[in-house]
Amino acid sequence: MNTDQLHELLYQALETEQGGILVYQNALRCVLNADLKKEWEEYLEQTQNHERIIRELFEAFDLDPEVETPGRAVVREIGESLVKAMATALDAGPPEAAQLVAAECVILAETKDHQNWELIGEVAKKSKGEEAKALKTAYEEVEDEEDEHLYHTMGWARELWIESLGMPAVIPPPEEEKHVKTAIGAARAKAARSEML
């Protein structure tokens, strides 16, 4: 195991969760649909909890969570640009367009977040001792929620776009109705959407 790169992954994962909190706070300024608002409020709370869980990992690894790395700076810059994009969309209007932008920004943020946790899960499988235990506990606590953040929001973005195009949409999206937690499940839910119209 390349320990330096594992530490880099943890720094980026912490920065991703911190940026994620800001992304959800701003996405909630753009949201119009009441169900999606409830969903994102829940995801914001979960993301705040994930940030706390990563901070606990830093204690287990005896790492300083304030240390800056070049990779971490890039993650922060991407997060800030997502927040800026939502502010621009909100200013420009119409509100429906800002909601679509917010859904796409959440997907972009959650794609990185989802991969970070998949990698943490992979490392946990290959590690031994106290650090492995800490990684495994964190991963098990977070993984299902991260799957929902990504796949359910992808469903929302697709259906809200379809609705905006004037076509029949499945709202809430099939991913949410079917409690999708895997990429295969998301593909199945998407394939079955026409039956749900």
Amino acid (1-letter code) at residue 196: M
Tell me how far apart the alpha carbons of residues 79 and 171 are, in angstroms, rounded to a whole number: 28
Q: Using the minimum distance from each CB to Fe ion, give the nearer residue, 181 or 193.
A: 181
Q: Using the minimum distance from each CB to Fe ion, give the nearer residue, 149 or 152.
A: 149
Q: Using the minimum distance from each CB to Fe ion, give the nearer residue, 156 or 193.
A: 156
What's the closest the beta carbon of residue 176 comes to Fe ion, in angstroms? 15
What's the closest the beta carbon of residue 51 comes to Fe ion, in angstroms? 10
Tell me how far apart the alpha carbons of residues 142 and 83 are, in angstroms, rounded to a whole number: 24
Q: Using the minimum distance from each CB to Fe ion, give the nearer residue, 28 or 162.
A: 28
Crossing angle of helices 129-164 and 183-191, in 10° steps, is 20
Spatial contact of 186 and 174, defined as CB atoms under 8 Å apart: no
What's the closest the beta carbon of residue 142 comes to Fe ion, in angstroms? 8
Query: Taking CB positions, which residue lies at the least distance from Fe ion?
Result: 149
What's the closest the beta carbon of residue 196 comes to Fe ion, in angstroms? 26
Residues interacting with Fe ion, by CB under 5 A?
Answer: 113, 146, 149
- Token representation of residue 175: 């991913």
Q: Any idea which residue has 């946790």 for tokens? A: 117
- Any alpha helices (H) in the chain, and if so which ranges? 3-30, 34-60, 70-92, 95-126, 129-164, 174-177, 183-191
Q: Using the minimum distance from each CB to Fe ion, give the nearer residue, 81 or 194.
A: 81
What's the closest the beta carbon of residue 111 comes to Fe ion, in angstroms? 10
